[in-house]
Amino acid sequence: MESLASLACSEQVVCNSPLPTASIWQDVLAQAVTGELMAAMNYSALSTICDDPEEVADALEHAQGEQGHAGAFAAEGRKIGVIVPSNVNARYWKRIREAFMRSIAERDFIACLIVQEIMLESFAVASYTRVGRAAPGSLGETFAAIAADEEGHIEHAMEILRSERAKGPQRFDDKVYRLHLDVMTTLTEMVAKECRHGQCDLCHSSCVKPSLSEVGLSTAELRGASLQQYLKSLDALGLPGEVTLQWVTQLPV
């Protein structure tokens, strides 16, 4: 398995593949690899604030799992003849990482779970599922398998979060809202129709978004599916649907 450090900030490379759409998949994979690496870093950081040894072990296991996902995506890139770049300091990912690290600094285990398991994983599960359906061969299979894997490990976090909300729904919902403003604003900018603030620092040449239709994807579908998954996750936690709907409709477009 490749080390976290070697993958976290790789050099960008030129696409040289016989697959006509390889350069598009290269950019899609770059986002996925970066997201997985950031998740691995987040879980590693989370392990440092866990009091319960079991939770420490869980967090480290998750970190390793996410690193494995990053490796699997990078391997899929090699299969189609591209080397997949990654950059956890890219514009949007850096802001998300900083938001997560603020919760680490506050030693707020629950806030970390909300960001990683509810917000980031909602986007990962929904978008990987969509990409899994659109991507050819083993590339699609890998996206679909990792989507299923991510979905599987959310449930444990959901149990912890539901139990936490039961102790004080108002306090819990206020915390989710604060994190929503911080993290979801960035995530929705990331999947907006166009990058209004310039390049995302991950696409290897021009922005990949206008080209997604060539591989049967669209930002509208990825954004819609991701926000839908997010709303359903919040529903599952017991937050009032009319409140979370307002939160989502107030996000930037």
Residues near other proteins (CB under 8 A): 170, 173-174, 176-178, 180, 193, 220, 223-225, 227-228, 231-232, 235, 240-250, 253
Nearest to 194, CA basis, from 224, 219, 165: 219
- The type of residue at 44 is S
Specify the residue for token string 């514009």.
91
Output the smallest distance, CB 155 to other proteins, in A: 19
Q: Which two tokens stand for residue 64?
A: 């390793």
Of 78 and 171, the one with the shorter C-beta distance to other proteins is: 171
For residue 253, the SS3 value is: coil
Output the smallest distance, CB 220 to other proteins, in A: 4
Of 3 and 249, the one with the shorter C-beta distance to other proteins is: 249
Output the smallest distance, CB 189 to other proteins, in A: 14
Q: How far is CA 67 from the centre of its chain?
A: 13
- The Cα angle at residue 168 between residues 165 and 173, in degrees rounded to 5: 60
Establish how many alpha carbons lie within 13 A of residue 193's alpha carbon, considering only the half-sphere containing its beta carbon.
3
Of 17 and 218, the one with the shorter C-beta distance to other proteins is: 218
Output the smallest distance, CB 111 to other proteins, in A: 14
Of 94 and 232, the one with the shorter C-beta distance to other proteins is: 232
Of 58 and 173, the one with the shorter C-beta distance to other proteins is: 173
Output the smallest distance, CB 139 to other proteins, in A: 25
Q: Are 161 and 122 in contact (CB under 8 A)?
A: no
Question: How far apart are the two ends of the chain, measured CA to CA in Å?
Answer: 38
